[in-house]
């Protein structure tokens, strides 16, 4: 019998005795980057670009945490949000040109100066828009990456516009699952990876959040302790 783990498994689906679902608390990680966005925003307007709406609330969960984190810093902050497509049209995850257009509109016409994406490969368009608008206007705007540290994987030309990224620590989850398998303690069913176990977090590459790290870590501690409960729906 082979032990199996499914990344992004659901909490309500049936599991066999040797199957685990790795469930990430993306809303908690998104809370921290939402707080970062609000702390860095000078306009009082930030943006969110979701890849595909209507996937059982998955991408909305990112938005919910982001909004909650931003409002924890500034209750009066304005958040503009747009999804590229709605399920069953999943092209929103592979449409960088559309993400670029949405981002440019948010920067130019909505007044946003920080935008977070949960849009897969479409996020490249957000990074390009941040660079393009910053250079054209002379006013620097920021982008926030998702899932991995996108400062490390993005084109060198756009790195300086990536404020931070919301980290989904698949490496931590896989390590723990393999360790449990080796030790004979593999547990079936959903396994949640949240801030408490460093299953999610935020990136510090580039040093752009160094000046607000203490505040972000204070929010993290409050979430871990239960003082702050992060919503999963916008």
Q: How confident is the model at residue 20, as a pLDDT?
A: 66
pLDDT, tens digit, for every residue of 33-53? 999 999 999 999 999 999 999
> What is the pLDDT at residue 3?
47
Q: Per-residue confidence at 7, pLDDT binned at 50, 70, 90?
A: low
Q: How much is the average pLDDT of 142-153?
A: 98
Residue 170: predicted pLDDT: 79
Domains delineated in the chain: 4-221 (3.40.50.2300)
Residues 22 and 55: beta-carbon distance below 8 Å:
no
pLDDT digits (tens, 9 = 90+) for 77-103: 999 999 999 999 999 999 999 999 999
pLDDT of 4 > 60? The answer is: no
């Amino acid at each position: 019998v082979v032990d199996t783990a499914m990344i992004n498994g659901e909490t309500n689906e049936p599991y066999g005795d040797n199957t685990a679902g790795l469930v990430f608390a993306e809303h908690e990680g998104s809370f921290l980057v939402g707080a970062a966005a609000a702390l860095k925003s000078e306009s009082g307007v930030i943006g969110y670009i979701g890849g595909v709406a209507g996937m059982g609330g998955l991408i909305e969960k990112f938005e919910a945490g982001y909004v909650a984190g931003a409002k924890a810093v500034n209750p009066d902050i304005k958040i503009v949000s747009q999804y590229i497509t709605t399920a069953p049209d999943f092209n929103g995850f592979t449409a960088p040109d559309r993400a670029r257009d949405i981002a440019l509109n948010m920067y130019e016409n909505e007044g946003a100066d920080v935008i977070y994406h949960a849009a897969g490969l479409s996020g490249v368009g957000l990074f390009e828009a941040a660079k393009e608008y910053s250079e054209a206007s002379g006013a620097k705007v920021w982008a926030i990456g998702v899932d991995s540290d996108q400062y490390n994987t993005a084109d060198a030309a756009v790195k300086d516009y990536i404020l931070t990224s919301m980290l989904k620590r698949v490496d931590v989850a896989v390590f723990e699952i393999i360790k449990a398998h080796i030790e004979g303690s593999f547990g079936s069913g959903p396994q949640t990876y949240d801030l408490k176990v460093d299953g999610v977090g935020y990136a510090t590459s580039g040093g752009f959040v160094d000046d607000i790290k203490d505040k972000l870590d204070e929010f993290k501690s409050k979430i871990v302790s239960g003082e702050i409960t992060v919503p999963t729906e916008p």
